[in-house]
A and B are shown apart, each in its own frame.
Chain A
Amino acid sequence: MESKEKYRVPVSQKPHVVEKPRDINTIGGTVTIEINEKKVSVPMGTTILEACRENQIHIPTLCHHDDLCVAGVCRVCVVEVEGMRTLQASCTFPITAPVKIHTSTPMVRKARRHIIDLLLSEHYGECYSCFRNQNCELQKLAKEYGVDQYNFGHLEKPRYETDRSSASVIRDMNKCILCKRCVRTCIDLQEVGVLEAINRGHETHIGTFFDKPLSDVICINCGQCINRCPTAALRANDPSDELWEAIENPKKHVVIQTAPSPRAGIGEEFGLEPGHSMTGELNTALRRIGFDRVFDTNFTADLTIMEEGTELLNRLKKAVLLGDESVKLPQFTSCSPGWVKFIEHFYPEFLGYLSTAKSPQQMFGAVIKTFYAKESGIDPADIVSVALMPCSAKKFECNRPEMRASGYKDVDYGLTTRELAQMIKEAGIYLPEMPKSHFDEPFGDASGAGLIFGATGGVMEAALRTVYELVTGREVPFKNLNIVPCRGFEGIKQASVMLEGCKDEYSFLEGIELKFIVAHGTANAKKVMEMLRKGELKDVHFVEIMACPGGCLGGGGQPIPTSEEIRKKRAEAIYAEDESLSLRKSHENPYVKYIYENFLTEGPCSELSHHLLHTHYQKRGKFIA
């Protein structure tokens, strides 16, 4: 019997079993079929949907998502297959014989129209009062199929109460069409397992354990469900109303820090193809909206590298030089708040492996309401600190009770890429037309190392650029500083760098092969943690984990839709910008040097930096009270 792993996923999440041939040139590797009377040859096992897409035939879909395995539940993709009594869902049907397919017969069109009509009859609310207006897959299909009336009625009252309990994710099941993409995302893609279909028949809805509020279950706030929801059933908790008020309030000094990933994604909200970096334009737009200062989160990303890198070197020193066996290695990164909550819930016994360094967002928050407030003579009580993030979990993170090192809430609001795009539009600004401008001082410059935090492997790459140089005095031995083994979207990447010719103070590391692992998506994080539990990571030193597939650029606050292709383009934009910069190593950032010379004078991992830039974690566990 195959491993249990294979069967623990509900069937709607199971991929169909027909395996595609490795080599389509072998006999029986391809099959010739007819689509709408046109002969085409496809690899054996291709689904009808894939075959149609290959041949420029558009098939409508709702439950299908390229990131997820098939469900076959919405039925909107049905087609006629000759010889079969019923219509077949093209997303699930594996081609293994020379079938003849018709994608646009009267029966097919009528069925699709009926299915859209049925979904609309249960879909509460009107399009013009919906945040997904013009970016809704159901709405798009309704238009495509010429829906001009409600053929089977329309709900007059909501059936479900909206769940606003979570700091990050709002669930409005009145807009849900039961495509189960969120379920497949939560259980299969992320292995968090918060959402499932509850009840049956017409009473079916997507719910949590005992239908408890989202804040009471083990949601990690990654927001991946939001990114894959075809309608407005899932959305992030939007603070923009309060933000507008703060901006209009002359007493408030509103500063915003912007993370690297939103810049690589926000163009999509303005109709641009994925992969346009909008850093300069965004800075101008933010100022025009009325933010008093625009800072670059990459600055504290550089600071994170200094703190986290130093912490790693300290751990290595204790372990290697002093032989202290209680030292927890490998050290895990802690920048991703979804990942942090994941480990708090699922692996609380391993929290000691997590770097105590705060995420760049929270470091910036602490610095703004202390160092910046002091330097610029502003009462921190009057500062409203906003973080533009690709992330829904950042909203939860800034509300953690631990995150008040400045004596105030260090970061007041986490704002997602989508929400800022909405604000920009409301302000009457078309982002791509904005002139470019630079970030504000005193944190104006940041390195490319900070920038690449946005992609999976970026933190690792940035850390290696610094750690290697601190230890050996030489640049990391990769062409153009591009540490290629850290890059790409493979779920779990392992690589190593040999430490040779170490400086005297790091001579204890001489000849050590620095091993590291990069993983993204919490399903992969789980695999890494199981390796740790089994003692398989004993010779690994550093692990980077990002909760979201692709890293922050695929975060739960990024523009919708998402797919691997889109995420790749965003990554390309980020890496290209890194390579265009002259400053590419965190420790060379002059402002980082400045802050250690003038504020955190004891250096990284000192008492003050621990107070402001480090944190502690909660053993949350899995039990749902």
Chain B
Amino acid sequence: MLVLEKNSLTEEVESLVEFYGTERSALLPILQAVQRKHKYVSDFVQQEIARLLDIHPVEVYSVVSFYAFLHSEPQGRNIVRLCQTIACDLAGKEAVARAVERELGITFGQTTKDKRITLEYANCLGMCDQGPAMIVNDRVYTHLTPEKAINILNEIK
């Protein structure tokens, strides 16, 4: 990693720590902020967070690995999460999933070659009355059909 890049990441983490504090309870908000911006929390950033919060790096990694929405490895620019739980499943999630995979040329858990989209399954999004549902970054789309889903994905950059 370039030294310059490291410094800017360090600065970023430092300003987050300044905002959220150095208590352990600040850990998740800090991780979420990094995740939101970079789509993942790198090993360097995790160690910087550990250093500033005075905890062990492995504790940060342990927390990141626990939560489904936090990643340790680089992801696509947009994270698409299709709900796989029962109500959406009954409402036609399977057809949407297959269509999306075919369109993007990847399977769930993968990222497109151009790093545009990472495709994931999510557990119940709380849209059971309007399924199938998916979340693109933090936006929710409901009543999906294969066609509608593909149109949405083709719109995002």
Instruction: Give me the interface of A with B, judged by CB distance under 8 Å.
Output: 4, 7-8, 10, 187, 192-200, 207-210, 217, 622-624
Contact = CB atoms under 8 A, between A and B. Distances in A.
A196 B61 contact: yes
Contacts of A197: 62, 66
Given A193-B55, A197-B66, A624-B47, 19 more contacts: A8-B54, A8-B55, A10-B59, A193-B57, A193-B58, A196-B59, A196-B61, A197-B62, A198-B61, A199-B66, A207-B58, A208-B58, A209-B47, A209-B58, A209-B61, A210-B61, A217-B58, A624-B43, A624-B57
Given A8-B24, A8-B54, A210-B72, A187 B43 contact: no
Contact of B58 (A7, A8, A196, A199): A196
Interface string B68-92: 0000100000000000000000000
Contacts of A207: 58, 61
Contacts of A10: 59, 62
B23 interface: yes
Residue from the set B55, B56, B59 with the largest chain A CB neighbour count within 10 Å: B56
Nearest to A205: B65
Contacts of A7: 23-25
Nearest to A194: B58
B102 interface: no
B58 A195 contact: yes
Contacts of A624: 43, 47, 57
B23 A4 contact: yes
Given A210-B72, A624-B47, A187 B61 contact: no
Contacts of A8: 24, 54-55
B41 to A, nearest CB: 11
A193 B62 CA distance: 11
Nearest to A10: B59
29 contacts: A4-B24, A7-B23, A8-B24, A8-B55, A10-B59, A10-B62, A187-B56, A193-B56, A194-B58, A195-B58, A196-B56, A196-B58, A196-B61, A196-B62, A197-B62, A198-B61, A199-B65, A200-B65, A207-B58, A207-B61, A208-B58, A209-B43, A209-B57, A209-B58, A210-B61, A210-B72, A622-B47, A622-B51, A624-B43
A207 to B, nearest CB: 8
Residue from the set B23, B25, B61, B62 with the largest chain A CB neighbour count within 10 Å: B62
Interface in B25-60: 25, 43, 46-47, 51, 54-59
A208 B72 CA distance: 14
A225 to B, nearest CB: 13
Cβ-closest 10 pairs across A and B: A193-B56, A196-B62, A209-B58, A196-B58, A209-B57, A198-B65, A199-B65, A200-B66, A209-B61, A210-B43
Nearest to A4: B23
Contacts of A198: 61-62, 65
A210 to B, nearest CB: 5
Interface residues of B, number: 19
Contacts of B57: 193, 209, 622, 624
A622 B57 CA distance: 9
At the interface, is chain A mostly helix, strand, loop or mixed?
loop
Contacts of B65: 198-200
A198 B70 CA distance: 13
Contacts of A192: 56
Contacts of A193: 55-59
Nearest to B66: A200
Contacts of B46: 209
Contacts of B59: 10, 187, 193, 196
A193 B57 CA distance: 8
Nearest to A193: B56
Contacts of A622: 47, 51, 57
Contacts of B25: 7
Contacts of B47: 209, 622-624
Contacts of B55: 8, 193
A294 B58 CA distance: 42
A4 B55 CA distance: 11
Contacts of A208: 58
B124 to A, nearest CB: 15
B31 to A, nearest CB: 15
Contacts of B51: 622
A196 to B, nearest CB: 4
A197 B51 CA distance: 20
B67 to A, nearest CB: 8
B83 to A, nearest CB: 18
Contacts of A210: 43, 61, 72
Residue from the set A4, A194, A195 with the largest chain B CB neighbour count within 10 Å: A4
A480 to B, nearest CB: 44
A622 B58 CA distance: 12
A7 B25 CA distance: 9
Nearest to A203: B65
B51 to A, nearest CB: 7
A207 B58 CA distance: 8
Residue from the set A193, A195, A196 with the largest chain B CB neighbour count within 10 Å: A196
Contacts of B56: 187, 192-194, 196
A8 B47 CA distance: 16
A107 B9 CA distance: 55
A38 B65 CA distance: 47
A12 to B, nearest CB: 11
A199 B61 CA distance: 9
A192 to B, nearest CB: 8
A199 B22 CA distance: 24
A209 B58 CA distance: 4
B106 to A, nearest CB: 22
A7 B65 CA distance: 20
A198 B60 CA distance: 10
Nearest to B61: A209
A160 to B, nearest CB: 15
